[in-house]
Copies of this chain bind each other. A is one copy, B any other.
Amino acid sequence: MEYYSNQINQLIQAFSSLPGIGTKSAQRLAFHVINMPEEQVQNLAKTMVDARQNVCYCAQCCTLTDQEVCPICKNPSRDQKTIMVVESPRDLAAYEKTGKYEGVYHVLHGAISPMLGIGPGDIRLKELMERLRGDVDEVIIATNSSLEGETTAMYISKLIKPVGIRVSRIASGVPVGGDLEYIDEVTLLRALEGRTEL
């Protein structure tokens, strides 16, 4: 790309290495940053470096936080005996947004995927098993409804059942407001299998 000068090219390349940012978006971002007041650019750069330096894993649930123990784990009004296992902090946030879940979480940071060479040792499973030595009533597995998510759910349930703790899996089926006509066959069969009596 000789039509831009070196430093602009470097910035465009840096942006396009980020996920979900193609060449066009990277160009747009680069020119936006070059036209921003210098102070704002400094702030943006500082925010990035600070977050990278200070954010770490919660000592209890392994979510990302800038404290030693995250606010959810610290909250005395949450039910510490119910643990929902999720793949990522974003999945945790998705359930938090519902505002109805009262238990705590455990963030795996990934899912078992033989295809990508991610085994049980590469996700935060050991930390989960250690937590189960304490007083736990139920583990709710809320990994994604993908092949990897299901594999992980099966693996975890086999691991936990011998311990004698209740293990459940969130329901898979037709999304609320979903039109049957447009829903794939696998989901439709799942919804049928998972039917509940009225």
Number of identical monomers bound together in the oligomeric complex: 2
Q: Which residue of B is nearest A46, CB measured?
A: B45
**How would you classify the secondary structure of chain A's contact residues: helix, strand, loop or mixed?**
helix
Verify if A34 is at the interface (C-beta below 8 Å from B). Answer: yes
Question: How far apart sit A43 and B49, CA to CA, in the bound complex (Å)?
Answer: 10
**Count of A residues near B, CB < 8 Å?**
55
Query: Does A132 lie at the interface of the complex (its beta carbon under 8 Å from any beta carbon of B)?
Result: no
Q: Is A28 an interface residue (CB 8 A)?
A: yes
Q: Which of A91-133 contact B (CB under 8 A)?
A: 92-93, 96-97
A52 touches B48 (CB 8 A): no
Q: Which residues of A contact B (CB under 8 A)?
A: 1-8, 10-11, 14, 18-21, 25, 27-34, 36, 38, 41-55, 64-67, 70-72, 88-90, 92-93, 96-97
